[in-house]
Structure 1
Amino acid sequence: METTKNPGSVNHRIREGLARIASVMRNEDWSRAKISGLNPTQLAILELLEGRADGLSVKDIAANLGVSQPTATDSIAALERKDLVAKNSDGIDKRSVKVDITTTGRSVLDLAKPDSGAARDAVDALASHEQEDLLITLVKMISHLQQNDAIPIQRMCVSCRYFAPFVHSDAARPHHCHFVDAAFGQREIRVDCREHEIADPAVRAATWTAFNKG
């Protein structure tokens, strides 16, 4: 049993803290979804599809949200009935179906943008350098989860073929994005970038090593 003189491990306490934050964010997701007449899973599907110009398969949607395929299928069907998503044949494999967000779906999503809330306020309460440190820590945790196949590859800078870490001498802008051909800093590291193109495994490994050394 955890006591004042015998606290749980740091690992355990960090996970407890993340669980508390996740609880607040889940409650806020319920509130945002209710405004849109959806449930949190349906809202999450719209948010996932919003930045995917080519759509996603049901399997990919389920994997990204960490839900079963039947759950994803049921939620997609409900969204389709409301004309918020549409199923289209894959341009390469006609037997495969991709799910796309519709114009109506984007309009509904605009109503549920997380522009305020307790979780946002808690991040804003952190000093600038604390926000930056937290962002990089989260990127490292997400990367570890990816490497252990706990989640799919995310559209982060550190897994993108355009990302070159710590190639500039400017401490404020040490990284380079070859997509826009521009230097940028730690605060601009993306967790979900629309222009992301996954690098091959060898490049991802080398990029991650360079990023960690920096």
Structure 2
Amino acid sequence: MKKKVFDPKLQETDLAGKIGAGLERVSQAFKVLLWEKAKAFGLSPIQIQILVFVAHHHRELANVSHLAQEFNVTKPTISDAVRVLGKKELIIKDHSSADSRSYTILLSDKGNEVVARTEDFAQPIYEQINQLEGAEQTELFRLLSKVIYQFNQKGILSVQRTCFACKFYSKSANGHYCNLLVQPLKEEEIRLDCLEFESKS
């Protein structure tokens, strides 16, 4: 029989259930903070997420197909969000690719201004985590990165740019190693979103 994570009776005796419920609370905190910022700027949460993502990632990732995978939503959902962002003059569609049906999403000057004023929506969460001791942060990150990687391996998260899934990563008895940087990696140096990531497959 499957465990019922949100049953308080289960949580009394099952630590995994408590942790699952706790992660859901953290997820709710992100949603609340993102919604507050979205309402303040007359945007939807996914529109802000698209703008922030495009601002910080390579342009080859800034297209409808990839963004749908990135945020685990349908292409029509991304297309609708992009259409609104275009109407608000926050993005520019670059149709210069060989495929005339596809385009790359670029930020306009106005879009960059909105990113500068919205990407701090998770600052309260950062501040709380930053109050943890260094060793606590390292252990929390180690466990989170492991769980996130496992979610990817099970197909729950479709996109993963972590060291563990990268062709440059290797692990030995001595720990983690990056063959691109040609150096060992400490636990806290493992990346969840690496710009140099290349899939093992």
- Could you tell me which residue of structure 1 aligns to residue 153 of structure 2? 147
> Corresponding residue for 1:107?
113
SS of 1:129's partner is: helix
Q: Give the secondary-structure state (helix, strand or coil) at the position aligned to 2:59.
A: coil
Among all aligned residue pairs of Structure 1 and Structure 2, give the percentage whose two residues are the same amino acid: 25
1:23 Cα deviation (Å)?
1.0
The answer as to 2:183 corresponding to 1:178 is: no
Q: Match for residue 23 of structure 1?
A: 28
Residue 73 of structure 2 aligns to which amino acid in structure 1? V
1:161–1:199 Cα contact (<8 Å) kept: yes
Please tell me the residue identity of whatever aligns with 2:150. H
Could you report, residue by residue, the CA deviation over 1:44-80 in whole angstroms, capped at 9, with x for unpaired residues? 1112222122243323212221223322111111111
Query: What residue is the counterpart of 2:15 in the other structure?
Result: 10
Alpha-carbon deviation of 1:43? 0.6
SS of the residue 1:100 aligns to: strand
Distance in 1, matches of 2:96 and 2:142, equals: 36
Number of the residue aligned with 1:60: 66
**Cα distance, 1:35 vs. partner?**
4.3
Letter in 2 for 1:13: K
Inter-partner Cα distance in structure 2 for 1:162 and 1:145: 21
Counterpart of 2:125, as a letter, is A
Deviation at 1:162, TM superposition (A): 2.2
Contact 1:30 1:39 in 2 (8 A): yes
1:126 is aligned with what amino acid? L
* Partner residue, 1:204: none
State whether structure 2 residue 83 is matched by structure 1 residue 77. yes
For the structure 1 residues 179 and 86, does the alpha-carbon distance in structure 2 shift closer, same or farther, using more than 3 Å as the test? farther
For 1:115 and 1:24, how far apart are their aligned partners in 2?
A: 10
Unaligned runs of 5+ in 1: 201-214
**Map of 1:126 onto structure 2:** 132
**Superposition RMSD on alpha carbons, in Å?**
2.6
Code of the residue aligned with 1:146 in structure 2: it is N
**1:187, 1:115 → 2: CA distance?**
23
TM-score, length-scaled by structure 1: 0.77
1:46 aligns with 51
Secondary structure of the residue aligned to 1:143 is helix
Give the residue type in structure 2 aligned to 1:164: S
Corresponding letter in the other structure for 1:118: P
* Matches of 1:90 and 1:148, distance apart in 2: 36
Given the alignment, which residue of 95, 99, 105 partners 1:93? 99
Distance 1:62 1:92 in 2: 21
5+ unaligned residues in a row in structure 2: which ranges? 1-6
| Alignment CA distance shift 1:114-1:8 (3 Å) | farther
Report the secondary structure of 1:195's partner residue: coil
* Number of residue pairs aligned between Structure 1 and Structure 2: 194
Does the Cα contact within 8 Å between 1:123 and 1:131 map onto a contact in 2? yes
Query: Which residue does the alignment assign to 2:3?
Result: none
- Cα contact 1:32–1:112 (8 A) shared by 2: yes
- How far apart in 1 are the matches of 2:52 and 2:123? 17
Deviates most, 177-186 or 66-75: 177-186
